[in-house]
Chain A
Amino acid sequence: MDDRLTLIRFSDAPGLEQHLLGELEKLSGRGPEFWSRKHAPLRACCALAVRLGAVAAVIQRRVHDPDFLAEYNTYYSRQFTDVTRHCVRVQLFAASPADDQSVLGYLDAPGTPASYLGFLTLRPVAATPVGASILRIPPDVGFIRCADQFPVHLAGHELDLLGVPFMQQDNAVGACAQASIWMALRTLRRREGDRAHDPAQITGAATRYSISGRILPNRKGLTQPQVVEAIRAAGYSPHPIHFAPGSNFTLGSQLDADQLSNARRVLHAYVESSIPVLLILYPSTSGHAVVVIGHTFSATPVHKDELAFSLKAGAVQITHAVSWVPEFVIHNDNSGPYLPLPQATKGSAYALDQTYAAIPLLPADVFVSGEEALQFATTLWQDILEELTESLNYQDAADLCGQFAVRLLLLKKRKIRAWAASSTVAPEVREHLRLADLPRRVWVLELHLKEEYGAHASERASSLVGFILLDSTSDAASTAMLFIYLNFPAFSDTDKGTLIVATAAEWKAIQIEATPPVIPFRDL
Chain B
Amino acid sequence: MTRVTLGKLVVGTARGNTRERVIPAKEIKELRRDISERITPKIEEIREEQRRALEESKPLVLL
Q: Could you tell me which A residues sit within 8 Å of B by CB distance?
A: 175-177, 212, 220-225, 227, 240-242, 245-246, 250-251, 280, 282, 286-289, 356-357, 369, 371-372, 375-376, 379-380, 383-388, 476-479, 481, 484, 486, 488, 494, 496-498, 500, 506-512
Contacts and interface: CB of A to CB of B under 8 A. Distances in A.
Interface of B: 5-16, 18-23, 28, 31-33, 35-36, 38-40, 42-43, 46-47, 49-50, 52-54, 56-63
A295 B61 CA distance: 27
A445 to B, nearest CB: 13
Contact of A384 (B10, B22, B23, B61): B10
B5 A383 contact: yes
A293 B42 CA distance: 29
Given A175-B63, A222-B62, A507 B20 contact: no
Given A220-B61, A280-B62, A510-B20, 9 more contacts: A223-B59, A224-B60, A240-B57, A242-B53, A286-B63, A379-B42, A388-B7, A478-B36, A506-B22
Nearest to A373: B43
A478 B5 CA distance: 12
Given A241-B50, A506-B23, A375 B7 contact: no
B60 A511 contact: no
A245 B54 CA distance: 8
B61 A212 contact: yes
Question: Which of B12, B21, B39 has the most chain A CB within a 10 Å cutoff?
Answer: B39
Given A282-B60, A477-B39, A509-B20, A484 B10 contact: yes
Nearest to B16: A511
Looking at chain A's contact residues, is the secondary structure mostly helix, strand, loop, or mixed? mixed
Given A224-B59, A282-B60, A510-B20, A486 B39 contact: no
Contacts of B21: 508-509
A241 B13 CA distance: 39
A376 B35 CA distance: 9
B39 A384 contact: no
A175 B60 CA distance: 14
A87 B21 CA distance: 66
Given A372-B43, A383-B38, A387-B7, A510 B13 contact: yes
Question: Which of B22, B38, B63 has the most chain A CB within a 10 Å cutoff?
Answer: B63
A416 B40 CA distance: 27
Nearest to A356: B60
A220 B60 CA distance: 11
A223 B61 contact: yes
Given A246-B53, A508-B23, A496 B60 contact: no
B36 to A, nearest CB: 4
A375 B31 contact: no
B57 A224 contact: yes
Nearest to A222: B62
Nearest to A247: B56
A408 to B, nearest CB: 14
A240 B54 contact: yes
Contact of A486 (B10, B58, B60): B10
Nearest to B7: A387
B46 A375 contact: yes
A339 to B, nearest CB: 18
A177 B48 CA distance: 27
A222 B63 CA distance: 7
Contact of B13 (A176, A221, A242, A498): A498
Contacts of A287: 60-63
A478 B29 CA distance: 9
Nearest to B27: A507
25 contacts: A177-B62, A221-B61, A223-B59, A224-B62, A242-B53, A242-B56, A245-B50, A246-B52, A250-B58, A250-B60, A369-B46, A371-B46, A371-B50, A375-B39, A376-B43, A380-B6, A383-B6, A387-B12, A478-B32, A481-B35, A506-B22, A506-B28, A509-B10, A510-B13, A510-B20
B30 to A, nearest CB: 11
Question: Which of A221, A224, A282 has the most chain B CB within a 10 Å cutoff?
Answer: A224
Contacts of A386: 7
